């Protein structure tokens, strides 16, 4: 197949666009990649594609030309992850992406999903939301890791508790009282320190926060951690989250602690981590810091699980979905 593409230019596009289409290229399909920086489709080159794969893009400037291509028999697959209409009120993004803006954006994405021949989503919660809006036959494919999992563990003194967390995790940090919890843990363990990427935990000594880390260097960055955190509270935005964070921790041989909800709910020791109830974070952290043997055991289990979570393991699914969209478009044009 000749496959065109358009992505929202975010880190999530690697999991939902770049990695899957690289897998298609390894299978011999031709990819018309989007513009590098913007993720915009190369519209002049899409007319002879069999199918166009679109991640999150739904604005009129993209939807309208793709609708014309669909009418000419080009298949359209539209994919999304995260429930961007449910941005938490305490997220710094709420004023620009939440409230009425979020609802307008959701309506825009529904129009895109209805226009597409196949819609994809990363979680059942997202599937359910769009089904309620009248879109059927939504295909669920989880986020997966790139096929090459060689990651270098970084040696360091002491013990690092790390959290890769976009600023929308501000709600989780506040609701779970993580600043005070981690401050007490640090007081109890003088050789421990905390690092975060994105969310600001507001800790003092032995805490480093980086506003962002380039996506391509993130695996090596998290490979410095001795324990990885994935806390989420019970809000609609978190219900739609994927489990890619703990897959990344596992691939970097980092034992993880996560909340028992959303896409983390069915995971545990076999996947390299432990589930922690909302009021047990201090106890769970304290126990895992003290038990080096258990951390090593979890790290080994996580590394083994991560090897089964690469995008090549679901390449067949992507291939079937893309072919299905191309066939539906061709049939619709023939019936017109």
Residue ranges of domains in the chain: 2-144+311-335, 159-306
One pLDDT digit (tens) per residue for the chain, 336 residues: 999 999 998 889 999 999 999 999 999 999 999 988 789 999 999 999 999 999 999 999 999 999 999 999 999 999 999 877 776 766 666 656 656 677 888 899 999 999 999 999 999 999 999 999 999 999 999 999 999 877 778 788 999 999 999 888 999 999 999 999 999 999 999 999 999 999 999 998 899 999 988 888 888 889 999 999 999 999 988 999 999 999 999 999 999 999 999 999 999 999 999 999 999 999 999 999 999 999 999 999 999 999 999 999 999 999 999 999 999 999 877 776
Helix or strand or coil: residue 314? Answer: helix
Order of strands, sheet of 227-230, starting from the edge strand that comes earlier in the sequence: 207-210, 192-198, 159-165, 227-230, 256-258, 273-275
- Tell the CATH topology of 2-144+311-335: Rossmann fold (3.40.50)
Concatenating the DSSP letter of every residue in 274-295 gives EE--TT-HHHHHHHHHH-HHHH
pLDDT at residue 152, as a whole number: 79
The superfamily CATH assigns to domain 159-306 is Glycogen Phosphorylase B; (3.40.50.2000)
pTM score, two decimals?
A: 0.93
pLDDT at residue 187, as a whole number: 96
pLDDT at residue 264, as a whole number: 97
Half-sphere CA count of 296, side-chain side, radius 13 A: 4
pLDDT at residue 94, as a whole number: 60
Order of strands, sheet of 2-7, starting from the edge strand that comes earlier in the sequence: 30-32, 2-7, 51-55, 75-80, 118-121, 139-140
pLDDT at residue 31, as a whole number: 98
Domains 2-144+311-335 and 159-306 fall in the same CATH topology: yes
Cβ atoms of 7 and 18 within 8 Å: the answer is yes
What is d(CA 5, CA 45) in angstroms, rounded to the nearest whole number? 10
pLDDT at residue 96, as a whole number: 60
What is d(CA 321, CA 59) in angstroms, rounded to the nearest whole number? 23
Cβ atoms of 32 and 42 within 8 Å: the answer is yes
> Which of 199, 207, 243 has its CA nearest to residue 93?
199
Question: Residue 231 is inside which H or E element, if any?
Answer: none
What is d(CA 162, CA 297) in angstroms, rounded to the nearest whole number? 19
Cβ-based neighbour number of residue 276 at 10 Å? 23
- Which single residue is written with the structure tokens 């996947």? 271
Tokens at 87, concatenated: 């941005």
What is d(CA 184, CA 18) in angstroms, rounded to the nearest whole number? 41
Concatenating the DSSP letter of every residue in 59-118 gives SHHHHHHHHHHHHTT-EEEEEE-S-GGG--TTSTTHHHHSHHHHHHHHHHHHHHHHHSSE
pLDDT at residue 228, as a whole number: 98
């Amino acid at each position: 197949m000749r496959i065109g593409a358009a992505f929202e230019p975010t880190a999530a596009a690697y999991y939902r666009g770049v990695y899957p289409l690289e897998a298609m290229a390894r299978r011999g399909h031709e990819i018309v990649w989007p513009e590098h920086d913007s993720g915009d489709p190369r519209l002049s080159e899409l007319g002879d594609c069999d199918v166009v794969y679109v991640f999150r893009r739904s604005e009129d400037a993209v939807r309208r030309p793709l609708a014309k291509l669909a009418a000419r028999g080009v298949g359209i697959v539209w994919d999304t992850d995260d429930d961007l209409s449910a941005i938490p009120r305490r997220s710094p993004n709420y004023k620009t992406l939440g409230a009425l803006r979020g609802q307008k954006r959701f309506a825009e994405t529904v129009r895109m999903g209805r226009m597409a021949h196949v819609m994809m989503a990363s979680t059942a919660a997202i599937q359910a939301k769009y089904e309620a809006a009248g879109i059927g036959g939504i295909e669920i494919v989880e986020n997966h890791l790139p096929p090459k999992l060689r990651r270098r563990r970084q040696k360091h003194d002491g013990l690092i508790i790390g959290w890769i967390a976009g600023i929308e995790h501000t709600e989780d940090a506040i609701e779970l009282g993580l600043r005070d919890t981690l401050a007490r843990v640090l007081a109890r363990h003088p050789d421990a320190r905390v690092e975060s990427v994105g969310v600001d935990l507001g800790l003092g000594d032995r805490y480093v926060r980086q506003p962002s880390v380039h996506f391509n260097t993130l695996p090596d960055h998290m490979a410095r951690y001795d324990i990885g955190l994935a806390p989420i509270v019970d809000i609609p935005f978190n219900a739609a989250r994927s489990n890619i964070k703990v897959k990344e921790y596992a691939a970097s041989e980092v034992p993880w602690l996560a909340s028992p909800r959303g896409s983390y709910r069915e995971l545990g020791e076999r996947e390299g981590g432990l589930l922690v109830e909302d009021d047990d974070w201090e106890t769970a952290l304290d126990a895992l810091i003290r038990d080096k043997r258990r951390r090593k055991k979890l790290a080994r289990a996580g590394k083994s699980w991560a090897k089964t979570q690469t995008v090549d393991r679901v390449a067949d699914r992507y291939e079937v979905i893309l072919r299905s969209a191309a066939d539906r478009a061709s049939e619709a044009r023939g019936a017109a």
